[in-house]
Amino acid sequence: MFDPCCSGDVDRTRVVIAAGLAVVLIVGVIIVSLVFGSGNDQAAQPETPPAPLRTGPVPLVPVPAPAAASADCATLIQQVPATLQADKAVLTKAALAEPAPPASVAWTDQRSDPVVLRCGLEKPAELTPTTQNLRAIDGVSWLPVEGPGSTTWYLADRPVYVALTIPAAAGTGPLQDISTLVTKTLPKEPS
């Protein structure tokens, strides 16, 4: 028959079992959804369209370049390669918009910001006798100056100051290519 002393224990046991089963069911649903996903992952992350082509000459802002007409700059500019190797593209030497700054060259793939070389610049303010962050690339000393989305590398051990501005997406290939060119065309200054 009915035993009033034990009915509370049975009800409590049933409640605990039901709650435990509910927790196991919820955890199971969460695990299955994490493992198999919702199936709509492709729709949630649309593919980024390629950047539009940039056509026409590359505009460059003029900067003071008192040694741009020097023989060293003329030699360097005459020898620049037609292409530079970037991380994901080959950059081609581009025409500059008029009025083009003297002793300047740009390379682009027409989808990203150009790599720009300028020769004959004034000594960069960041380059001092106590500068510690010079980097040697293929025997050439460069001073990197970080900017928004790019780094400008200033040539530090040659008779003229050269700036090479490289967008972050281009990687280090252009710096290596130009360092090789500098080694061949500009004499190293004594330390």
pLDDT in tens, 85-95: 999 899 999 99
Counting every residue, how long is the chain?
191
Q: What is the mean pLDDT of the chain?
A: 87
Identify which of 76, 75, 56, 158 has the alpha carbon closest to the alpha carbon of residue 117. Answer: 76
Question: What was the pLDDT predicted at 42?
Answer: 52
Alpha-carbon span 61 to 119, nearest angstrom: 14
Identify which of 130, 131, 81, 76 has the alpha carbon closest to the alpha carbon of residue 103. Answer: 76
Question: What was the pLDDT predicted at 56?
Answer: 87
Please determine, for residue 165, whether its predicted confidence score (pLDDT) is greater than 70. yes
In the sheet that holds 161-167, the strands lie side by side as 83-85, 90-94, 104-108, 115-121, 161-167, 150-155, 140-147, 135-137
Please determine, for residue 38, whether its predicted confidence score (pLDDT) is greater than 80. no
- Across the chain, the runs of DSSP E, i.e. the strands, are 83-85, 90-94, 104-108, 115-121, 135-137, 140-147, 150-155, 161-167
Q: Please tell me the least confidently modeled range out of 37-51, 60-74, 125-139, 157-171.
A: 37-51
**Can you say whether the dihedral through the CA atoms of 190, 142, 175, 166 is positive or negative?**
negative
Binned at pLDDT 50, 70 and 90, residue 109 comes out as very high
Binned at pLDDT 50, 70 and 90, residue 119 comes out as very high
Phi, psi of 68 (to 5 degrees): -60, -30
Alpha-carbon span 119 to 121, nearest angstrom: 6
Question: What was the pLDDT predicted at 40?
Answer: 53
pLDDT in tens, 137-154: 999 999 999 999 999 999
Q: Taking the C-alpha atoms of 170, 174, 175 and 180 in order, what is their torsion angle to the nearest 10 degrees?
A: 160
Please determine, for residue 44, whether its predicted confidence score (pLDDT) is greater than 90. no
